[in-house]
A and B are shown apart, each in its own frame.
Chain A
């Protein structure tokens, strides 16, 4: 024993402190045989709450008065989630099981911030996120605004765009075969990205469809709105472009300016003046003709 102690001293070996590290979730102890290293790597606490979104899939949305909506969040690694400020029905415990959860909110009476806090009791980590829900006090939508004596068809923009949102792809064609007795309103039209431009180029429909003469295209918050209250209103023919932008600084004479993240309706009717002139096609013998366009990046 004395010999060993002597030898350790002889070799210059000194026993020192104890160094302690924590191995929490988010850390890895990695063995790399090529580099001959054992590496303890720590990362900042990852987010327990990876998303918290309003009904428009953004963290700020508009809703109509007396209208219910869902708040949706995705949680991972948490064991308790609680709604903080918001409506009374929000301020309670919410599911903390890993995955996506949607919580229905009956309605709001004023602009409201909803806050969600999720925590992990073992690591002590807490993450909090908020969404802003604004009350949309714009005039209520009504069928009174529809072009007279026409049948309304309704669908989503994605249905006619091969499942894609507006602005998502330039590899699809939109073809809407419309009767002269109808107009169509497509919901879920809009752009999500700020300072984003998009163009749609109307061209003559494929030869197995009838050509249009003139049509009116409007972007509006209410379906079937071809009036001055619509966001944009254009007369189109078989060859025409419409430009869209989410840059508020762009010229509204050149671009239809959209609020990013807002859902609009895009409306089509085969008449240059929907409230005064009945729809028609290029040939007076046709009672059905096709609006046809592609999206183009700007």
Chain B
């Protein structure tokens, strides 16, 4: 017959094991592979482990996430001071851009990037009439899910008080009804900077 104390102790030990295992799994899964690099004019200033998710909050106009540096968790806040004045956020997919709503949140991960708000992009098609790919890695915008190219960089930047989240779809020619043709301001301003 097991005493209530022993039962409680065994339960506690099991919970500890479970939490420890869960924590180790989370640790390995979430930040072991990804780093957060800070560069200034091309020179690396710091390189730390990145803990997902990265959340962009339009209401706060910032990115927030955790990094791990020398065993210490650090909150990171990236203030989008110049690109946050209302209806001035756009997601760019292939050659078209789409307005993002006020107070949207964007959850950025390792293989999925999700706009956590309603966005009416309209019906999407592949201009070459191929089936639209939706596997990981993908970007999810409202009810639209689009597989993105994993060999291209995703760029987020601001220009003239506007913020752009730029993706290349795996199809390469996605057009949704509410899209407008996009000409990157980086082609003019930052030529060479992102090469």
The residues of A with any CB-CB pair to B shorter than 8 Å are: 3-4, 6-7, 10-34, 36-44, 46, 76-77, 122-123
Contacts and interface: CB of A to CB of B under 8 A. Distances in A.
17 contacts: A6-B16, A10-B20, A14-B71, A18-B74, A19-B74, A20-B77, A20-B78, A21-B76, A22-B79, A25-B82, A28-B193, A30-B194, A31-B153, A33-B110, A34-B151, A38-B108, A42-B41
B33 interface: yes
Contacts of A25: 82-83, 157-160
A271 B80 CA distance: 72
B38 A30 contact: no
Given A11-B20, A32-B153, A46-B190, A3 B73 contact: no
B88 to A, nearest CB: 12
B177 interface: no
A23 B74 contact: no
B193 A30 contact: no
B73 A13 contact: yes
A42 B37 contact: no
Contacts of A23: 62-63, 78-83, 158
Contacts of A22: 78-79, 81
A4 B158 CA distance: 40
Given A20-B77, A21-B76, A33 B151 contact: yes
Contacts of B81: 22-24
A29 B137 contact: no
Given A23-B158, A26-B190, A40-B78, A3 B153 contact: no
Contacts, number: 149
Contacts of A39: 36-39
A158 to B, nearest CB: 27
Contact of A29 (B34, B74, B156): B156
Interface in B175-195: 188-190, 193-194
Contacts of B115: none
A43 B137 contact: no
A38 B37 contact: yes
Contacts of B69: 16
Contacts of B37: 37-40
A18 B188 CA distance: 35
A236 to B, nearest CB: 44
A15 B73 contact: yes
A186 to B, nearest CB: 35
A27 B157 contact: yes
Contact of B15 (A3, A14, A31): A3
Given A28-B157, A34-B150, A43 B190 contact: yes
Nearest to B108: A31
Given A27-B157, A77-B160, A37 B36 contact: yes
Interface string B135-173: 001000000000000110111111111000000000000
A119 to B, nearest CB: 14
A212 B110 CA distance: 76
A239 B158 CA distance: 61
